[in-house]
Amino acid sequence: MWTLSKHFKVPTAQSELEALILERTADLQKLSQRLLKVQDEERRKVARDLHDSTGQTLAALKISLSFLEESCKTDPATMVLVSEVAQLADRAIEEIRTMSYLLHPPLLDEVGFASAAEWYIEGFAKRSGIKITADIANSRGRLPKELEIALFRVLQESLTNVHRHSGASDASIRFQYETAAVILEIRDFGCGIPEERLRLLSGASAETGVGLAGMRERLHELSGKLEIESDGSGTSMRATVPLYSMFIPVQVEGYGEPGPSAQA
């Protein structure tokens, strides 16, 4: 009888342990997804604060410097100093504006992923010196907010990796609506990823890094997936999100809020 009880208890304990692991895994995924959303909100807030507060303070400084320049025209030495300060203010304004837009582009809220992606790709190409060809489908209007943010963060992180690790001088980006899904593919024509490293990146270990894990988590929430392919001719990152996930009810309160102007 004791032997029978023992055999019955072991499978029961194992089932309970497996259920507990699944429950904890689900809790961790929910926490991770919540942290990503909080991170996006903080990025939006910091971007607006930089633009609306720090940016406006620097703009006021520029105005004051223009008045100072007028009063210093008879003093060449002081005029040179004021001009140097004005140039530093211009540089600071440009850096603040770039930082604000990289944290959360106003175009992403105002007109959607396609336009924000084109803007980001153009700026990235200028900053990095990497020649990029882009095919961004823009024929079906806006996507749900969560999907647009996820795709944009995948684009940002992938291009950052291209710049840091690939050694590529050329890259291509394609975003298309397929029959059953939307697909974003970023491909570089660089040195590729070593086979051992590629195996690690394709798994779910800590070796994948925070950026890659964040991309996967964003796509997982939308029932999507991230695929990495690499060989001696370069690396491809492909994000695929099923089309049906685009019709899941989403929060869109951020779209109607005023954002930093791209013309400021």
Beta strand 181-188 with 234-242: parallel, antiparallel or unpaired? antiparallel
Residue finishing a domain among 71, 104, 137: 104
Per-residue pLDDT at 95: 82
Q: Same domain, yes or no, for 100 and 135?
A: no
Per-residue pLDDT at 26: 66
Q: Same domain, yes or no, for 32 and 143?
A: no
The two three-digit tokens of residue 50, written as one number: 């930089």
Residue 254 has pLDDT above 60, yes or no: no
Q: Same domain, yes or no, for 91 and 122?
A: no
Kindly provide the b/e burial profile for residues 5-33, where b requires at least 16 CB atoms within 10 angstroms of the residue's own CB: eeeeeeeeeeeeeeeeeeeeeeeeeeebe
Report if residue 256 sits inside a domain. no
What's the rounded mean pLDDT across residues 234-240? 92
Q: What whole-number distance in Å separates Cα of residue 205 and Cα of residue 226? A: 15
Tell me what percent of the residues of the chain surpass a pLDDT of 70: 78
The two three-digit tokens of residue 102, written as one number: 């990289």
Residue 132 has pLDDT above 60, yes or no: yes
What's the rounded mean pLDDT across residues 51-64? 83
In 3D, which of 210, 159, 203, 225 has the Cα closest to residue 39? 210
Report if residue 3 sits inside a domain. yes
Which domain covers residue 5, as residue numbers? 1-104
As to burial, measured by CB atoms within 10 angstroms (0-12 exposed, 13-18 middle, 19+ buried), residue 129 is exposed
Residue 52 has pLDDT above 70, yes or no: yes
Per-residue pLDDT at 3: 53
Q: Same domain, yes or no, for 34 and 111?
A: no
Per-residue pLDDT at 28: 66
CATH number at residue 112: 3.30.565.10
Whole-model pTM above 0.85? no
What's the rounded mean pLDDT across residues 225-254? 75
Residue 66 has pLDDT above 80, yes or no: yes
Per-residue pLDDT at 121: 93
Q: Same domain, yes or no, for 214 and 151?
A: yes
Residue 248 has pLDDT above 50, yes or no: no
Report if residue 261 sits inside a domain. no
Residue 259 has pLDDT above 50, yes or no: no
Residue finishing a domain among 36, 71, 104: 104
Per-residue pLDDT at 255: 38
pLDDT averaged over every residue in the chain:
78
Residue 261 has pLDDT above 50, yes or no: no
What's the rounded mean pLDDT across residues 114-130? 91
Q: Same domain, yes or no, for 43 and 97?
A: yes
Residue 15 has pLDDT above 60, yes or no: yes
What is the total count of domains within the chain?
2
Residue 247: band (very low, low, confident or very high) from pLDDT cuts 50, 70, 90: low
For residue 137, give the 3-state DSSP assignment.
Answer: coil
Residue finishing a domain among 104, 135, 168: 104
Report if residue 116 sits inside a domain. yes
